Amino acid sequence: MKRRHFLGSLAAGLAALAGRGAHAMAPVPRVIGGRDDSVAGWLVIPMDDQQPEQLKAYGLIYRALKAGNRTEWLLNYRAGTFLMERDPAVEKDAALSGVQTEFATDSDVLDIRAQIASSNMDSIPLEKAPKIGVYQVRDALPWDDAVKMALEYADVDYDVVWDAEVLGGKLKEYEWLHLHHEDFTGQYSKFFLNYAGQPWLNTMIRNNEEMQRQWGYPSVPEEKKAVARKIRQYVQDGGFLFAMCSATETIELALAAEGVDIAAAYADKTPADPAANAKMHWDRTMAFENAHLELSPSIASFSDIDGHQVNNLPLRQPLGAFKLFNFSAKIDPVPSMLVQCHKQIIPDYYGLTTSFMQRRLKPGVIVLADEPGAPWAKYIHGDYGTGTWTFLGGHDPEDPQHQVGDPPTDLSLHPKSPGYRLILNNVLFPAAKKRELKT
């Protein structure tokens, strides 16, 4: 379901939600107020520190929506807690997944609604589980995708799509699309500087060249630009895009470089246009503008969008911590949804693109989180056409120094990860009920 603008607030006496569903009985549920659970008709899924499986709680809500239940997302109430009518199937699912639940009576829920009405909180109805596409080449690569790991840990369904699906028009089947470690400039992230001859890099090059020939493009960079334009069209037509790591920066460079040769390091042989920076079309991008390209094939960075420059050692910046902004839930429900978390300050983590220089952000871009006192943002969001995009810098929120070939993060060791919660906020964001613009 394609939807965009959520404004205003729900009345404190929002009508009771109709609960249907699929699964019963969470681990030792607590009855709010201490009353007998036989008179408690509501299920509360807390998201504060009382919740031992915060990441799996998102999957519980996703599956409940997919089964036809309706849910409320209580923004800024107990770190983004969820509320729904009781359903034995949902309670059973919670018990099996280790998600803590609480029972509430009508009186308890009225008290919650009164608190929401009088505070910086809001209640957002969630309607339908979005269909999810994860953009990734199907061959195994020597790194992991944090979003795929989050989806799998939370048991959320997704499809893998790549260039053939994008160019073939399949994106219209999905409400939510994720991008991660792709280099849309077609330079293979300049991996040949350190990994030339590695079997995985040879496979990556072969797969991309086969795709380029299959679709009739003169080079991999030109084929990747076409993919980037299709993704931009998907957003313009109402899709929800979430990107991390190098995909955030390189899709924007590819969009701005239409008709411009920026592939300085492509296969270590194609010369870049020395005037490329002057020819970039920043009116065609979604998030960034006026960036300076890194055209040298001997420097493993893309541009000056990234503030941390992890692979440009003279410019590399140390990691700090980033802080989530506190938005007005009733006035700004969208950014409020995207920052729901039990922690406001989160340790930073590297990626090929770690952060976004604020001077490179387009007017109107919403900064969701930044490092206080630093010139970069970590987490940003905006509208494009009738759709939205959200960019989160870095590769893996629980592996600050993740290297090529490192083992995947075991999320069972991080069930309350605040960084992974930001990812899963984005998964549920498209499920929110549309609110018409008020004029």
* pLDDT at res. 231: 98
Q: List the one residue out of 291, 308, 311, 315 whose CA is nearest residue 299.
A: 311
User: By the 8 A CB rule, do 41 and 102 touch?
Assistant: no
Assigned domain for 158 exists: yes
Residues 284 and 388 occupy one common structural domain: yes
Residues 93 and 218 occupy one common structural domain: no
Residues 92 and 43 occupy one common structural domain: yes
Residues 73 and 100 occupy one common structural domain: yes
* pLDDT at res. 407: 87
- Number of structural domains found in the chain: 2
Is the model's pLDDT at 281 over the cut of 50? yes
Mean pLDDT for 18-26 is 36
Whole-number percent of the chain with pLDDT over 70: 88
Residues 163 and 105 occupy one common structural domain: no
Last residue of a domain, one of 95, 126, 157: 126
Rounded to two decimals, the pTM is 0.91
Assigned domain for 371 exists: yes
* pLDDT at res. 251: 98
* pLDDT at res. 27: 62
Give 114's contacts (C-beta < 8 A, 6+ positions apart): 12
* Weakest mean pLDDT among 213-227, 254-268, 425-439: 425-439
State how far the Cα of 165 lies from the Cα of 406, in Å rounded to an integer.
Answer: 29
Tens digit of pLDDT for each residue in 376-414?
Answer: 999 999 999 999 999 999 999 999 987 777 888 999 999
pLDDT band at 141 (very low <50, low <70, confident <90, very high): confident
Q: Which position has the token pair 């390189």?
A: 250
* pLDDT at res. 23: 37
Assigned domain for 6 exists: no
Assigned domain for 17 exists: no
State how far the Cα of 185 lies from the Cα of 226, in Å rounded to an integer.
Answer: 10
Give the CATH number, domain containing residue 158: 3.40.50.880
State the residue range of the domain holding 233: 132-408
Assigned domain for 414 exists: no
Residues 73 and 146 occupy one common structural domain: no
Is the model's pLDDT at 356 over the cut of 90? yes
Mean pLDDT for 84-98 is 97
Q: What is the dihedral of CA 52, 58, 61, 67, to 10 degrees?
A: -120
State how far the Cα of 116 lies from the Cα of 124, in Å rounded to an integer.
Answer: 11
Assigned domain for 431 exists: no
* Weakest mean pLDDT among 32-41, 247-256, 327-336: 32-41
pLDDT band at 244 (very low <50, low <70, confident <90, very high): very high
Residues 92 and 225 occupy one common structural domain: no
Mean pLDDT score across all residues of the chain: 89
pLDDT band at 15 (very low <50, low <70, confident <90, very high): very low
Residues 92 and 222 occupy one common structural domain: no
Last residue of a domain, one of 86, 110, 126: 126
Assigned domain for 439 exists: no
Is the model's pLDDT at 199 over the cut of 50? yes
Residues 362 and 217 occupy one common structural domain: yes
Q: List the one residue out of 315, 439, 436 whose CA is nearest residue 6.
A: 436
Residues 69 and 160 occupy one common structural domain: no
Q: List the one residue out of 205, 185, 112 whose CA is nearest residue 352.
A: 185
Residues 247 and 366 occupy one common structural domain: yes
Is the model's pLDDT at 38 over the cut of 80? no
* pLDDT at res. 22: 34
Residues 182 and 314 occupy one common structural domain: yes
* pLDDT at res. 263: 77
Tens digit of pLDDT for each residue in 43-89?
Answer: 999 999 999 999 999 999 999 999 999 999 999 999 999 999 999 99
Assigned domain for 400 exists: yes
